[in-house]
Amino acid sequence: MTTGTFIVLVLVAVVALYAVAIYNGLVALKHNLAKAWSNIDVLLKQRHDELPKLVEVCKQYMAFEKETLEKVIAARSAVSVAREAGDVAKVGAAESLLRQGLGGLFAVAESYPDLKANENFQQLRQRISALENAIADRREFYNESVNANNVRIEQFPDVLIARRFGFAAAPLLEFSADEKRDVDLKALFS
């Protein structure tokens, strides 16, 4: 074997190893992204399971606040449908509605001293609030994973491997304009 052939073989081997390293990095990003979404999915499912209990406790006290309870139930259903479909954009929109409904429910609950004092209500409210905080943390991690994935599949030379093997950009979990707007505290307590 001549020196020229040997150099060419070494270069081909180096390029092949580099391509494998890029591919493996893209696979790791793809699976991190799936894990990040799965973490959100688990928390959404837990909250989905807790909300009927909260609504049931509230129904016992809030006979005249059906509209508020119905908004929470409808939003819960929308989140569930979007979550099961894996539609990130629809989950973000449905999440906004659910957060607004829960905010309204907790604000209305202030008018019911017996409900506020109910131990079950307090436990469920704390549990759902903790889930909301955990979901917010996981959203941030998910969006960071999406960003890392999307940047990497557009960078050269990674873009060559990404296109060849069908790695795709993922959507960010975004929020509606209503959810980004400042909360009108006066309206909540009037």
- Residue 113 belongs to a domain with what CATH number? 1.20.1440.20
Residue 167 pLDDT > 90, yes or no? yes
Distance of CA 152 to the CA centre of its chain: 21
Domains in the chain, number: 1
Neighbouring CB atoms inside 10 A of 173's CB total: 20
pLDDT score at 128: 81
Going by pLDDT thresholds of 50, 70 and 90, the confidence category of residue 155 is: very high
Going by pLDDT thresholds of 50, 70 and 90, the confidence category of residue 183 is: very low
How many whole angstroms separate alpha carbon 103 and alpha carbon 109?
A: 10
Residue 182 pLDDT > 80, yes or no? no
Window from 95-99, 106-110, 149-153 with minimum mean pLDDT: 106-110
Which residues constitute the domain of residue 121? 3-188
Its pTM surpasses 0.75: no
Q: Which of 168, 138, 144 is nearest to 154 (CA)?
A: 168
How many whole angstroms separate alpha carbon 76 and alpha carbon 131?
A: 14
Tens digit of each residue's pLDDT (9 = 90 or more) over 51-64: 777 777 776 666 55
Question: Which segment, 41-45, 56-60, 150-154, is predicted with the most confidence on average?
Answer: 150-154
Question: What is the chain's Cα-based Rg?
Answer: 24
